[in-house]
Amino acid sequence: MNTRIFFASDVHGSERCFRKFVNAAKFYKASALILAGDLTGKILVPIVEGKDGKFRFDFHGEPVTIGKEKVPEYQSELRNAGIYCFATNEAEMEELRADKARSDRMFVEEMKRCLASWVSLAEERLKGTDVMCYISPGNDDRFELDEIIRKGDHVSNPENQVVQVAPKNQMITLGYANITPWHSPREVTEVELKTMIERLADGVTDRAGSIFSIHVPPFGTELDKAPAVDEQLNYVREGMGTVKMTHVGSTAVREAIEKYQPLLGMHGHVHESRGFVKIGRTLCLNPGSDYGDGVLNGGLVSLEDGALKEFVLTSG
Amino acid sequence: MLDAIALNVSNMSAGAALATIGFTMVALSSYTGINLVYASLIAFVFSIPQVVVYTMMTRRLSRTGGDYVWVSRVFGGLFGSAISFMGYTIETLAYLALIALSAVFAIGSVGLFFYPTSSSALGLALPGNLSGSTPYLQALVGVIIFAILIAVNVFRPRFGYKLVSVLAVVGVIALIVGIFVLLSAGQSGVSSYINSLGINGTTYSSLASSYTGSTFSLSACITILPFFAIFVYPWINAGPAVASEIKGSRSIRWNVPIASLVVMVLVTSAFGAMYYAGGYQFVTAALSNGNLVYDYSFNFWTLAMGAANNQAIAWFLGIGWIVWTMAILAYGIIVASRYFFAQAFDRFLPESVAHISSRYGSPTVALTIQLIVTGALVAIGAVLYGGFQSLYAAVIASMIYFIFVGIAGFLYALRDEKGSSKGILGLCGILMALVFAFISYQFFTNPTVWGTSATAFGLPGYDFAYAYAFGSFLLGVVLYLWSKSSHKSKGIDIDLAYKEIPPD
């Protein structure tokens, strides 16, 4: 029996990417959708009304000034690029600058509101289908968000579980990453990561058809090369025209793949390292991410009787 | 931003263009009125629609693979993949062969400059179909140079980028030094060098006085547009090809226009310096004189080396010229691998093309393909068709490809743009397509200038190059259909990889 799975990650709050993700079931005729980590956006941008009635904000580091009638259009554009935003005025901005706790709360509330609306959208659009949509957090996602992805008719959170994703394929899911320079919410040491993976992998009853959906890619492959940063988090240059790329994946993930040899490894985390590699018999995919452009990168996998038939990286 | 600009500057082969212009001037039926300063400026103006299209499209689809992504997403998998495969992936291998042979020419010419009686140097510098040349040795040296650079990328992949950087910086510095040398040497320096060559019946004055035509003709300058298209202005796709790795919106917006301007200033200034020092009449006559161009490798570099009247500066300029060609090769090898990768990720090319050696961490299959195909083209170009000019005609593949990049920009504007952006991108897309349609027409209607009529196995050089170009398109079609059929039987339709999922 042929089963098709669509996998994506790192949409980072992009409304457009999530809408495409949900529609991917119909578009690719997939029976399972997997969104594996880094669901939420990274910034909250105030669109500030000035005394002249014009609204001002920063978009990708550049100042933008618009009239009131253009605000909804730009709010939509910001959301499609994964940027949360809210309209405000100069007086409220002064208050927010003085009260960091309040602005942090606003940021988290916006993440939760957005994710809740996504879960509702997925349930609504997948209603009447047999499609299951697995949405799990990644290292950038705060713990408060887990409760939002409740088990529904079509949406569930497979984090830290073994789930039957296809008739003969079990999937383990882990959104934690090894330590990064960014100090994101879900980071652990390689030793801890190894323990977490092994505990999950030991729960798999059919290893031959198993799928490891682990957010961070295996170390030392073409899937884990990211721009190197220095202590001030500036990019390290290497030669003319290039940023130095360095392996940032997890040695624990690599060891687990070498040890358990699952059918498939589905990864994300490193946006720049779109590609696929084989580690022994295991095919490892990282579709990469272009969420800022509203482009959804993914991996479409065809399974038959538990075996991997074919795959393609998509970009749509 | 400097990094992204530097990438594009490396990709635009100014150093090679300044070395090879004489071969084109000699081959033209008329060189009267060709003013290389104005011609460079006109070619730059013709490239502006392309600069606008690449800048706007990069801002909208800043993705690894650049124009390949735009074309394949606008035209769909079959045509988009096949035209990109022809116009960039495979054409690049022919271009690298062209540059490898021009590196051999540079080595021979520099050797000839310092050792005028050396038959070995002359054998490397002369076109392979002229008496005194050593085409087998040219092929051997060309393949060895290319193989060494491939080996660096196989065994020391991280060193590849550093190598490009060092080579390109030395090349650009040498070019700037060459300009200043010519400006300071002036007419006396140039005439002293030319007269010192001791060519029977040929002096600075005789050459300068032999040219009696006008100093500028628009139509004459337009006839030479394909030369600038082969080497310089259209090659702004390096930055866009790595757009997803460029950090910062200012870099995305400005890397293409600034790189184009920088290269225009370098190339135009170099030609301007030649005219300033030697005078238009002399330079035009000398660049069109087969004896000087072939037997004495007369060009910007050798003129600057001679006018310097200083062995150390001459050596620096000579090495700078050789190094520049190596930089183009070193960079081309890395970029070609990216296109192989992007097409393998889309499953158009076999999965094995994206294989990374676990031992060396390098794309050994993609690099091996480059070595085999480019090595074969170097040998065929040198031995059968007389040198790098024979590979000019293969560039037609890219000119046709750029027509479709322009059309892709136009169609994207119609479909996705609003307001003034729609008009600007749409108009520039159409203008870009028209420019490259015209340049393609120039290639086809003058195949002995933009190619060679030298014949091997009953096939003129330009026909061989056309067969290579269009054969690669057919190969692209066959590969795509084969891949589509193979994947479909396993439950995957690769057409879907090129289509955007509707968000609503």
- pLDDT, tens digit, 9 for 90 and up, residues B3-47: 556 666 766 789 999 999 999 999 998 999 999 999 999 999 999
The pLDDT of residue B10 is 66
The pLDDT of residue A79 is 93
Distances (CA, A) of B407 to A239, B434, B437: 35, 9, 11
B472: helix, strand or coil: helix
CB contact under 8 A, B500 and A316: yes
CA A94 to CA A90: how far, in whole Å?
Answer: 6
Average pLDDT, chain B: 90
Distances (CA, A) of B191 to A145, B196, B198, B279, B289: 79, 8, 12, 10, 16
Average pLDDT, chain A: 90
Residue B504 burial by CB count (10 A; 0-12/13-18/19+): exposed, middle or buried? exposed
The pLDDT tens digits of the residues spanning A158-171 come to 999 999 999 899 99
Could you tell me the pLDDT band of residue A302, with boundaries at 50, 70 and 90?
Answer: very high
Judged against a pLDDT cut of 80, whether residue B358 lies above it is answered with no
CA B150 to CA B10: how far, in whole Å?
Answer: 18
Over residues A204-214, mean pLDDT = 92
Judged against a pLDDT cut of 60, whether residue A50 lies above it is answered with yes
A247 touches chain B (CB under 8 A): no
Q: Which residues of A touch B244 (CB under 8 A)?
A: 271-272, 288, 290
Residue in B165, B244, B346 closest to A240 by CB = B165
The pLDDT tens digits of the residues spanning B384-395 come to 888 888 889 889
CA B407 to CA B71: how far, in whole Å?
Answer: 9
The ipTM of this complex is 0.83
The pLDDT tens digits of the residues spanning A91-114 come to 888 888 888 888 889 999 999 999
Decide: A204 and A259 in contact? Cβ < 8 Å.
Answer: no
Over residues B334-361, mean pLDDT = 83
Main-chain phi, psi angles of B369, to 5 degrees: -60, -45
The percentage of residues in chain B with a pLDDT greater than 90, rounded to a whole number, is 60
Q: Write the CB contacts of B214 (distance below 8 Å, at least 6 apart in sequence).
A: B32, B33
Could you tell me the pLDDT band of residue B340, with boundaries at 50, 70 and 90?
Answer: confident
Residue in A242, A288, A312 closest to B161 by CB = A242
Interface test with B, best of A76, A242, A258, A278 (most B CBs within 10 A): A242
Q: Write the CB contacts of A91 (distance below 8 Å, at least 6 apart in sequence).
A: none
**What is the nearest CA distance from A21 to chain B, expressed in angstroms?**
8
Over residues B226-255, mean pLDDT = 76
Best CATH choice for the domain B2-499 from the list 1.10.4190.10, 1.20.1260.10, 1.20.1740.10, 3.40.50.2300: 1.20.1740.10
CB contact under 8 A, A62 and B351: no
CB contact under 8 A, B356 and A28: no
A55-59 and A62-66: which strand pairing?
A: antiparallel
Nearest to B26 by CA among B464, B452, B466, B318: B452
Q: Write the CB contacts of A108 (distance below 8 Å, at least 6 apart in sequence).
A: A142, A144
The pLDDT of residue B337 is 84
Decide: A146 and A159 in contact? Cβ < 8 Å.
Answer: yes
Over residues B254-268, mean pLDDT = 89
CA B137 to CA B122: how far, in whole Å?
Answer: 11
The pLDDT of residue A244 is 76
Q: Which amino acid is at A169?
A: N
Residue in B3, B6, B345 closest to A274 by CB = B345
CB contact under 8 A, A243 and B7: no
A242 touches chain B (CB under 8 A): yes
Go through B139-173 and write b for each residue having 16 or more CB atoms within 10 A of its CB, e for each that does not.
Answer: bbbbbebbbebbebbbeebeebbbbbbbbbbbbbe
The pLDDT tens digits of the residues spanning B410-448 come to 999 998 888 888 999 999 999 999 999 999 999 999 998
The structural domains of chain B, with segments of one domain joined by +, span 2-499
The pLDDT tens digits of the residues spanning B43-88 come to 999 999 999 999 999 887 777 678 888 898 889 889 999 998 898 8
Nearest to B19 by CA among B423, B435, B321: B321
Nearest to B318 by CA among B109, B73, B57: B109
- Helix pair angle (B135-155, B157-196), 10° resolution: 150
The percentage of residues in chain B with a pLDDT greater than 70, rounded to a whole number, is 95
CA A173 to CA A160: how far, in whole Å?
Answer: 6
Tokens of B442: 């120039």
Could you tell me the pLDDT band of residue B252, with boundaries at 50, 70 and 90?
Answer: low
The pLDDT of residue A227 is 82
Q: Which amino acid is at A20?
A: K
The pLDDT of residue B26 is 94
The pLDDT of residue B212 is 92
Judged against a pLDDT cut of 90, whether residue B160 lies above it is answered with no
The pLDDT tens digits of the residues spanning B163-215 come to 777 888 899 999 999 999 999 999 999 999 999 999 988 999 999 999 999 99
Q: What residue ranges in B422-483 does DSSP mark as E strands?
A: 455-456, 459-460
Go through B20-43 and write b for each residue having 16 or more CB atoms within 10 A of its CB, e for each that does not.
Answer: bbbbbbbbbeebebbbbbbbbbbb
Q: Write the CB contacts of B483 (distance below 8 Å, at least 6 apart in sequence).
A: B347, B348, B349, B350, B494
Q: Which residues of A touch B345 (CB under 8 A)?
A: 274-276, 313
Judged against a pLDDT cut of 60, whether residue B246 lies above it is answered with no
